[in-house]
Amino acid sequence: MGEGLTYAPANFGLIFLLLNMTSRWKLSSTDSSTLEEQEPLIPIEDRRLYSQGASTTKIPPPLSNVMADLENHDREIIHVDYTDFDAAHVGRYGGWVGCFRKYRAKYRDALAEFIGTMILILLTCGVSAEQTLHISNRSWLTSSFGGGFAVLCAVSVAGHISGAHINPAVTLTFWAYSGFPLRKVITYWIAQFLGAFAGAALLYSVVEPAITQFDGGVRQILGDHGTAGIFATYPPLYVGTGAAVASEIIGTALLLLIVMATGHPNNLPYSNFQGGMIAAGVTTICLALGYTSGFSLNPARDIGPRIFTAIAGWGIDVFTVRDYYAVVPMFAPLVGGLIGGLVFTIFIDQ
């Protein structure tokens, strides 16, 4: 009896341990067999990551605020854009850096459009400055190829984030024919115009001494010492407004036709090289039609730098010269883009 009482607790403990292990084995077997059927607690597009080893199915703790962006829904690749923890977990993402990352996640597309358009204007107008300030090197071929390569650089930087519209005419046409969200149109336009203004300002900070040497410090719009054409487009004096309008409409229509065709899902051999195809298209359009109007093809490319020149010393006349020619590169590309999108939709799209 004494020995029975002595070993009874051990026996009951052993039995309890075996039962516990059996129940755990059954639970793990059930979990593994139904793993494929289990749904995450929150939808994949709304998943949040937290900490360093982030669960993608559990709701994060209250003090965590992490925004995740699914770069590829098919492959379920999750890219963390912003991490904002409480004071104990801020680490290297605290302060103004964390604040910037928060708003970058929210306005990532717009920021990409800003940077892409800034690069486009900086390089395009930079080539124009070289052509204007070095008379012996003037060549329309150089301007055309410079504009094309500037487009290629801008698309390479912003294309994987925002689609690299870098042109209000492209954004408007995509909204009209490709289902681009209306709420993003104004955001993209603002980013594009601000980026164009910033690109012009950056270029001016570099070439200002050369401009002053060229015009003697007297800012002129037209004439032998006119330098406003470095930044905005002005047609030659012998070209009428009607011809310039036609050039901008036809050129932008061709541009949008190329953009939409090379980016079409059924055009895979060329869509993989869309940036290069668009750059080649811009170069060819400029060579063929651009000399008539100065090849804006892009309202932001003209109006942003034009506003900068009005502030930087060329005055309000940059808007009124040639019978208010500034209206042409502002609206003609928008009309041309819509025409190009319509032609693609009717004759090419499936």
Q: What is the pLDDT of residues 325-344, one digit of tens each?
A: 999 999 999 999 999 999 99
Q: Tell me what the pLDDT averaged over the chain comes to.
A: 80
Rounded distance between C-alpha atoms, residue 222 and residue 314, angstroms: 11
Q: What is the pLDDT of residue 221?
A: 96
Instruction: Indicate the DSSP class of residue 52.
Output: S
Residues 85 and 152 in one domain: no
Query: Are residues 280 and 251 part of one domain?
Result: yes
* Helices then strands, each counted (H, E), the chain: 13, 2
Given a contact cutoff of 8 angstroms between Cβ atoms, the answer to whether 39 and 56 are in contact is no
Residue 21 counted as domain residue: no
State the burial class of residue 141 (Cβ atoms within 10 Å of its Cβ: 0-12, 13-18, 19+).
exposed
Task: Reply yes or no on whether the pLDDT at 131 is more than 60.
Answer: yes
Calculate mean pLDDT across residues 287-300: 92
Q: Are 293 and 233 in contact (CB under 8 A)?
A: yes
CA 199/CA 176 separation, integer angstroms: 28
Cβ atoms of 52 and 39 closer than 8 Å: no
Structural domain boundaries enclosing 270 = 108-347
Same domain, 93 and 132: no
Q: What is the number of other CB atoms lying within 10 angstroms of the CB of residue 88?
A: 7
- Same domain (yes/no): 94, 137: no
35 within a domain of the structure (yes/no): no
DSSP string, 184-197: HHHHHHHHHHHHHH
The answer to whether position 36 is within a domain reads no
Is residue 182 within 8 A of residue 313, CB to CB? The reply is: no
Same domain, yes or no: 69 and 211: no
In a domain? residue 129: yes
- Longest Cα–Cα distance of the chain, Å, equals 122
Residues 207 and 91 in one domain: no
Residue 202 sits in the same domain as residue 101: no
Q: Which of 105, 126, 153 is the last residue of a domain?
A: 105
Residue 58 lies in a domain: yes
Tokens of 124: 């395009």
Model confidence at 32: pLDDT above 90:
no
153 closest CA partner among 332, 275, 19: 275
Give the mean model confidence (pLDDT) for residues 239-245.
95
Pairing label, strands 77-84, 65-72: antiparallel
Q: Is the pLDDT of residue 7 over 90?
A: no
The string of pLDDT tens digits covering residues 183-222 is 999 999 999 999 999 999 999 999 999 999 999 999 999 9
Q: What mean pLDDT is predicted for residues 308-328?
A: 97
Q: Are residues 94 and 233 in the same domain?
A: no
Q: What's the CATH code of the domain at 203? A: 1.20.1080.10
Which range among 13-17, 115-119, 222-226, 269-273 shows the weakest confidence by mean pLDDT? 13-17
68 lies in a domain?
Answer: yes
Task: Name the β-bridge partners of 68.
Answer: 80
Domain boundary among 105, 124, 149: 105
Is 60 in the same domain as 202? no
Shortest CA distance to 156 belongs to which of 180, 120, 187? 120
| Within a domain: 198 | yes
* Measured CA distances, 229 to 128, 132, 296, 331 (Å): 8, 8, 11, 19
- In angstroms, the CA 290 to CA 144 distance is 8
Domains: count for the chain: 2
Three-state DSSP at 76 gives coil
Provide the pLDDT for residue 69.
Answer: 42
Nearest Cα neighbor of 306 from 212, 168, 204, 170 is 204
pTM of the model: 0.73
Same domain, 92 and 196: no
Asked whether residue 140 is assigned to any structural domain, the reply reads: yes
Which of 105, 136, 158 is at the close of a domain? 105
pLDDT in tens, 139-176: 888 899 999 999 999 999 999 899 999 999 999 999 99
Residue type, 78: I
Distance CA 230, CA 206 (A): 13
pLDDT classification of 67: cutoffs 50, 70, 90: very low
Grade residue 294 by pLDDT with cuts at 50, 70 and 90. Answer: confident
- Domain co-membership, 92 together with 241: no
Distance from C-alpha of 306 to C-alpha of 313, rounded to nearest angstrom: 11
Asked whether the CA dihedral 318, 320, 323, 325 is positive or negative, the reply is positive
Please name the amino acid found at residue 165.
Answer: H
Same domain membership, residue 188 and residue 169: yes
- CA dist 70 and 316 (Å) reads 46
